[in-house]
Structure 1
Amino acid sequence: MNHPQPAEPETPAGELEGLLGLATTAAPAWAACTPRERATALATVADALERNADHLVTLADRETGLGHARLSGEVKRTTGQLRSYGEYAVSGAPFGVTIDHADPDATPPRPELRRHLVPLGPVEVFAGGNFPFAFSVAGTDTASALAAGCPVLLKAHPGHPQTSATTATLVREALADAGAPLGTFGMFTGREAGVTVLRDERVRAAAFTGSVRGGRALFDIASSRPRPIPFHGELGSVNPVVVTAGALAERRSEIASGFVASFTLGTGQFCTKPGVLLMPRDPETVQYLAAQVRTAHALPMLSPQIAEGYRRRLDEVAAAQQTRTLVDGTLTTDADGRPQASPSLFVVPSVEHFLKEADDLLEECFGPAAVIVPYDTEDEAAQVLEALEGSLTLTFHTAPDDRPAGLVALAQRKAGRVLFNGWPTGVAVTAAQQHGGPYPSATSAHTSVGPYAIDRFLRPVAYQDAPADLLPPALRDDNPLRFLRTVDGKPETAAP
């Protein structure tokens, strides 16, 4: 049986207009709900997904081939995000309430100022393809926008249409059961529909997970509107790994096997896949890495389009001058006609040769491929990192007596997350997480994972000398929402 990617159906214009109208009407009502009411609604969505997890996983596996174990874990991550983002909003922390009382004795006299963050309004979310739950219909962008108080217009990804439609139905029904306004969530399909919604003046922000090319095109549209809007894109990344001489001497086999496991995980279709390995010159380790790669099995790719894009990038990397192919991976189809790939591994002779080909070799290759770059001095490793554009992650493997402080300082300028003695694949959903980085890994400075993702969909408003009865609840002296606040420069913790 063949699995061609169907033409992405376009939601009819009339239906699209209806979704936009409902979201616009829902926006003030959803924003007026208390964070506790919104958190309860998000928890109701999480409950619905958990009750239907087996069916959802079966659908997603049929459409993506990612396997029941991986997809079951992803459903749990998705429901965890929904609950944790909601509870974080209940604390009041995302809304940044700050109160400075008047000081008539200051020079000049200071008025009373009360500041908080409020929802932007309807948000368009472009679902990702490589995570059919955690970055899709009910994923991190949807959860954080809803927790902020913004209705969501979800542009479904064509790679898992049945999974998306089923999840969207569960989300709508759960929100309705929880008392959310009609229009708080809506889903549509189609590339042109996605652009139409992005251009619509009723949409106040957008979030995207995908390629640099697609994300940049949408970013330009959002920025060129008569009223530009924030566009939070999580795009492509090379995610280099730097191994020091001490680390290589201490645990060569562990690092080699860990790197291979990381860049082949999920058939290399993770945005945090490490694509470049900077290591001290050591031909023996290079051959050991190649032997490890040769033992890896072919695994499914998400779609024929992704497989074709991967094939093009492999050809570009292999054609780079002085690049040597250590392992020439295969691109085939399985018995059902689904594309699958075994990993490829390349090496360049030196940093000098790598830098000559940097434009090709420092571009993301979305699939199970990586490039080894041997270096002789720390200064050479720094030259490679300097040539790197923004990256989601940058990983160091070090030893106790081998601390590359200069490279670590450089990494902070180049990446959103700097790791030590681990691997970048796998993004923990915690408040301290940063999933984003300098362009082109992302189009904004915010994280798209963790409760701080809520920040993307809020804007600040200050009230000056406002009558008490006209203040929003979050800014009132009695603090009825029990928010964490800052008052006259000091933290205020409300009683439960």
Structure 2
Amino acid sequence: MSLHGKNFIGNVLSSNGNQSSKIYDINTNEPFEGEFIHATKEEVELALKKANEAFFIYKESSQLQRAEFLETIADEIMNLGDELVVRTIAESNLPRPRIEGERGRTVGQLRMFASLLKEGSWVEATIDEALPERKPLPRNDLRKMLRPIGVVSVFEASNFPLAFACAGGDTASALAAGCPVIVKAHSSHSGTSELIATAIIKAVKKSNMPDGTFSMVHGSGRTVGQQIVLNEIVKAVGFTGSTQGGMKLFELANQRKTPIPVFAEMGSINPCLILPSAVKNSDNMASLYASSITVGVGQFCTNPGLILTIKDENLEIFKEKLSKEINKIAPATMLSHGIQEAYEKGKKEALSQKGITLLGESNIKNTKAEGRPTIASVDAKTFMENPKLHEEIFGPYSLLVECEDLKELSLVIDCLEGQLTATVMGEETEMIKYKEVISSLENRCGRILFNGVPTGVEVCHSMQHGGPFPAATDSRFTSVGTGAIRRFVRPVCFQDCPNSLLPNELKDENPLKILRIVNEKYTRESL
């Protein structure tokens, strides 16, 4: 279909603004189809007003109705066919298998949340029946469950144009929770966003959801994004991107009359501890980590940007083999000129720091659109003394830190900030010796891996994608998996509420047959 470049103000297309933007091919600098009109202040206000009105209807929809809505969104995304894949490939410079896989992940997580809603127990329904005869004081009838928080603002990520974007995990979990969503489209994949938004609006109409359940607007984060976050109608923000961008939203949200939570997944260097037993297996280890550092041109939030080692007779061999593996990997096109330029600038600055040694880089020079794989090394003392070396370099780059002994390794880990992931490579018997170090790593991450690589985030019930600051603004929550729904709900207690006015999840008869805690016992039985 032909792209119109308009904003989705609820179910209505609108293009009243006089500012617009195009997307250009990173290799040829030729513009792609579509001119995307930035939303005006009035259009954003209307989207917010519609979302607020929709909330009071949408929050009362049943879990089954919302489940069917999410499944319809997934169906409509698949109905876009190859047009979506082709457009996303063009805008992101990512290969077809990656985009087709990401599309599968996007519809998969929509269906996963639908399954969660159909089962229904996630609302944590808890009932303590009245005890009027209790001495010395009677107890009221008290019933509690999780309820939707309100309108949610979602900011798309640049590196996942489908799975962390218009219909990505933030949108899917907010809609599942019963919250209308306003998406601020990312300027690097506006065409992809338009196609996905079209699918969502079709699903809104087919599922008879209220106008305003979903909106998508184009424009600058400094204007459109700021206007949305500062509006009192918005009750939470979902964001995936840079630390700078996430912190700006966090600061804005706390300037409001009523501060709101910003669930921002931000930067991480994802330390990987390679113990001596793993270093000894240098061939496999070098190949495994060179691949992980460069997969997707290093543009994953879980890219292994820091490798921690302890000096021994095998370390130099490992470093040499890792360098050779990096040398063999060709540069590849990055997501955008801005990301490529930031990578080159960050890498140049890091390599210019005192005490840094360039171990290896791709034997092929990169173009202005490509990221050149690079690995460097530094001693532990220099690393600890220089905060610049702790910063994320978004791209195919990693820094190897050489520690003299276990004590120095512990000191290095103690100086690390919060991370999305941490990894431990080695034999189990050796890991026991390093138990305290591993415990320290656990305190600094949301997910700790053993004998693997951090790249790749499974979408499932057990996943934790988030971590202590600055990896995320709130380490208690995840942006991936069914646990993500808890970001957009809050507990509400109903005291002595008539049974007919209670949500179905709390009624005496338990019509949904969900698992509840009733008088301190888990049960699916009615009262």
**Do the two structures share a fold, i.e. TM-score over 0.5?**
yes
Counterpart mapping for 1:384-399 below 5 A: 384-399=412-427
Counterpart mapping for 1:80-99 below 5 A: 80-99=108-127
Shift of 1:283: 1.2
Counterpart mapping for 1:28-177 below 5 A: 28-103=56-131, 104-177=133-206
Q: Does 1:470 align with 2:498?
A: no
Structure 1 moving runs of 4+ over 6 Å: 4-8
The amino acid that maps onto 1:362 is: H
The amino acid that maps onto 1:49 is: I
Shift of 1:246: 1.8
The CA distance in 1 between the partners of 2:502 and 2:322, in whole Å, is 63
The CA distance in 1 between the partners of 2:436 and 2:265, in whole Å, is 27
Change (3 A) 1:375 1:3: farther
The amino acid that maps onto 2:29 is: N
The amino acid that maps onto 2:201 is: R
The match for 1:326 among 355, 359, 362 is: 359
Change (3 A) 1:291 1:141: same
| SS of the residue 1:204 aligns to | strand
Q: Report the counterpart of residue 257 of structure 1 in structure 2.
A: 287
Counterpart mapping for 1:356-435 below 5 A: 356-357=385-386, 359-403=387-431, 404-435=434-465
CA deviations 1:103-146 (Å, max 9, x no partner) are 33254332221001111111000011100100000000000000
CA deviations 1:334-362 (Å, max 9, x no partner) are xxxx71112011011x21121122x1111
CA contact (8 A) 1:389 1:414 kept: yes
The CA distance in 2 between the partners of 1:471 and 1:451, in whole Å, is 25
CA contact (8 A) 1:247 1:402 kept: no
CA contact (8 A) 2:310 2:409 kept: no
The CA distance in 1 between the partners of 2:494 and 2:443, in whole Å, is 36
CA contact (8 A) 1:26 1:184 kept: yes
Change (3 A) 1:376 1:7: farther
Q: Does 1:489 align with 2:520?
A: yes
Q: Does 1:2 align with 2:50?
A: no
The CA distance in 2 between the partners of 1:231 and 1:108, in whole Å, is 41
| SS of the residue 1:158 aligns to | coil
Q: Report the counterpart of residue 316 of structure 2 in structure 1.
A: 283
CA RMSD of aligned residues (A): 1.8
CA contact (8 A) 1:119 1:148 kept: yes
Q: Does 1:216 align with 2:244?
A: no
Which runs of 5 or more residues in structure 2 are unaligned?
A: 1-27
Q: Report the counterpart of residue 240 of structure 1 in structure 2.
A: 271
The amino acid that maps onto 1:433 is: M
User: Number of residue pairs matched?
Assistant: 488
Q: Report the counterpart of residue 211 of structure 2 in structure 1.
A: 182
The match for 2:332 among 299, 304, 307 is: 299
Q: Does 1:446 align with 2:504?
A: no
The amino acid that maps onto 1:301 is: M
| SS of the residue 2:162 aligns to | coil
Shift of 1:100: 0.8
The CA distance in 2 between the partners of 1:466 and 1:138, in whole Å, is 36
Change (3 A) 1:8 1:55: closer
| SS of the residue 1:314 aligns to | helix
Change (3 A) 1:475 1:492: same
The CA distance in 1 between the partners of 2:525 and 2:329, in whole Å, is 55
CA deviations 1:270-290 (Å, max 9, x no partner) are 000010111222111111110
Q: Report the counterpart of residue 230 of structure 2 in structure 1.
A: 199
The amino acid that maps onto 1:317 is: A
Shift of 1:9: 5.1
| SS of the residue 1:382 aligns to | helix
Shift of 1:384: 1.3
CA deviations 1:278-324 (Å, max 9, x no partner) are 12221111111100000001111111111111112112211111001
| SS of the residue 1:159 aligns to | coil
Change (3 A) 1:117 1:364: same
Shift of 1:92: 2.3
CA deviations 1:53-81 (Å, max 9, x no partner) are 42111000011110110000000000010
Q: Report the counterpart of residue 310 of structure 1 in structure 2.
A: 343
| SS of the residue 2:234 aligns to | coil
Change (3 A) 1:319 1:471: same
The amino acid that maps onto 1:146 is: L
The CA distance in 1 between the partners of 2:428 and 2:471, in whole Å, is 31
Q: Report the counterpart of residue 227 of structure 1 in structure 2.
A: 258
CA contact (8 A) 1:53 1:75 kept: no
The CA distance in 2 between the partners of 1:469 and 1:161, in whole Å, is 46
Q: Does 1:26 align with 2:27?
A: no
The CA distance in 2 between the partners of 1:295 and 1:328, in whole Å, is 8
Q: Which has the higher contact order (CA 8 A, sep 6+)?
A: 1
The CA distance in 1 between the partners of 2:478 and 2:319, in whole Å, is 35
The CA distance in 1 between the partners of 2:304 and 2:50, in whole Å, is 42
CA deviations 1:235-289 (Å, max 9, x no partner) are 000100001112222x222121111111111101100001011122211111111
Change (3 A) 1:64 1:37: same
| SS of the residue 1:255 aligns to | helix
Q: Report the counterpart of residue 273 of structure 1 in structure 2.
A: 303
TM-score w.r.t. length of structure 2: 0.90
The CA distance in 1 between the partners of 2:306 and 2:374, in whole Å, is 12
The amino acid that maps onto 1:397 is: M
CA contact (8 A) 1:57 1:72 kept: yes
| SS of the residue 2:428 aligns to | coil
The amino acid that maps onto 2:182 is: L
| SS of the residue 1:291 aligns to | helix
Q: Does 1:355 align with 2:393?
A: no
| SS of the residue 1:32 aligns to | coil
CA contact (8 A) 1:148 1:457 kept: yes
The CA distance in 1 between the partners of 2:54 and 2:374, in whole Å, is 50
The amino acid that maps onto 1:451 is: T
The CA distance in 2 between the partners of 1:438 and 1:198, in whole Å, is 23
CA contact (8 A) 2:510 2:524 kept: no
TM-score w.r.t. length of structure 1: 0.95
